[in-house]
Amino acid sequence: MKEYVHKMIQDGIRRGMDYTGFISMVNGLVANGETTGPVQSQERIANTKLNAHRLRRIEKTITIPDERLVVFQELPEKQVWLVLLESWCSDGAQAVPLLHRIAEASPKIELRLVLRDENSRLMDCFLTNGTRSIPKLIITNGAGTVIHEWGPRPKTASKMVAEYKERNGKVDDSLKKELQIWYNKDRGNTMLDELVEMVRPH
C-alpha cells in the first residue's frame, strides 16, 4: 500500500502545476466561461470566476511576519508541498496564495498543484472523514515519504462547518457567507499558525 501511495504522489508531483500555471489556468477558464472537473454547472463556473478575483485580492493583501517565515526557510530538509484542489473550490482559493508565498520565500519548499478529479486515486488515499474534501495539502520529504497533511480548511473554519451542518443538515449559501466573512477577518493567520506548528521541529 505504501508503495502505491508513494507512486501516486510522485506522479502527482511530476504532472502538477506551479502557482503561475494554476493562475493562468483559472484565468483561461474564466475567459471561456468554464470550470475544472467534469461537472460544468453554472454554480461551479460562477465560483471559478469569483475565485479568480479572490486569488488576486489575497495575493495583494497577504503578509507573513519574518519570524513566521524563518520557520519555513530553515527547514531541516527539502520538502514538496503537493495540493489537491479545483478551480471552483472557495477554500482552495483562500489557501493557495498563502502556500505560494511561503514556498516562494523558502528554498526548502517546492509547491505543486494538481486537480482532484483528474487524480481521484491519489485523492482517495487522503480522504477527510471519508470524503474527497479539498484543498488537501500533502507534504513529503526528500525521500518522497509523507510527513504532514493539512486541509481542507483551518480548524476554526472546519468547526464552523461541522456545527452548522449539525444544526441545519447541509452546507448552504448562508454558511458560505459566514465562512467568507471569517476568512476575510482572519487574513490567513490561523492557517499560517497551523502550518508553522506542523512543520516546526518539536
Whole-number pLDDT of residue 194: 97
Q: What is the pLDDT of residues 109-122, one digit of tens each?
A: 999 999 999 999 99
What amino acid is encoded at 138 in this protein?
I
Residue keyed to cell 482559493 = 93
Would you say residue 48 has pLDDT above 90? yes
Whole-number pLDDT of residue 1: 66
| DSSP one-letter code for 107 | T
What amino acid is encoded at 131 in this protein?
T
Q: Which domain holds residue 94?
A: 2-199
pTM: 0.95
Domain count, the chain: 1
The values of phi and psi at residue 113, to 5°, are -120, 130
Whole-number pLDDT of residue 124: 95
Residue keyed to cell 472523514 = 129
Give the start-end residues of each E strand in 37-187.
79-85, 109-115, 136-140, 146-150
Q: How far apart are CA 198 and CA 129, in angstroms?
A: 20
Q: What is the mean pLDDT of the chain?
A: 94
Q: What is the pLDDT of residues 128-158, one digit of tens each?
A: 989 999 999 999 998 899 999 999 999 999 9
Q: What is the pLDDT of residues 73-102, one digit of tens each?
A: 999 999 999 999 999 999 999 999 999 999
CATH code, 60: 3.40.30.10
Query: Please, what is the end-to-end C-alpha distance for the chain in angstroms?
Result: 28
